[in-house]
Structure 1
Amino acid sequence: MSDKAVPQDPFGLAGVPDHRDYAQRLAELLERGTTQPPLAVLSAEEAYTAAELLGQYAQLDPTAALNQLAATLAGRLYARLGT
């Protein structure tokens, strides 16, 4: 067994200093995701639940950067689910 720990921050988000930088980093990851082939990591039920929660969060403050990203991601999940 190796002593090396599995990285807990594979997307480089742990060291982001504030919400604005975090939103920017998430936007970059979201854009990168549009150029890579999709990989199924959630069941349809999990994806639908995540989309619902993201949509509810997005409605709390539709003009905030994180909320806009949540809305975008929810829309993408719904589109892939065909709903």
Structure 2
Amino acid sequence: MTRGMSDSIARQDPFGLSGVRDHQEYARALARLVEQGRRERCVSLLSESEAYVVAELLGQYAQLDPTSELNQLAATLASRLYSRLGV
């Protein structure tokens, strides 16, 4: 593969999630990204209102199946957003 092609692929999948095979592996990959994100410098990407909406949607999704790995991850992310928002 040429350098240009690998750069293009990296831009299309900057978080390395394209190779996952199933929901469990996807949930584990996302959980690793959450842990990585805790160590990275914080940058504001959303307004306070947008962050609140995202937290609400993640919380609602998490309640659909509380035992699912993806739903548990959604609950964790919602909780972190609420905490940062001071809610």
Same fold (TM over 0.5): yes
What secondary structure does 1:34 align onto? helix
- TM-score, normalization by structure 1: 0.89
Of residues 42, 47, 64 in structure 2, which corresponds to 1:43?
47
The 2-side partners of 1:66 and 1:11 are apart by 17
1:12 paired residue number? 16
The 2-side partners of 1:52 and 1:19 are apart by 22
Which consecutive unaligned segments of at least 5 residues does structure 1 have? none
Divergent runs of 4+, >2 A: none
- TM-score, normalization by structure 2: 0.85
Segment of structure 1 superposing worse, 64-73 or 8-17: 8-17
Instruction: Give deviations 1:8-47, integer Å, cap 9, x for gaps.
Output: 2211112211101000000000011111121111111111
State how 1:48-63 maps to structure 2 within 5 Å: 48-63=52-67
Length, aligned pairs only: 80
Identity of aligned residues (%): 62
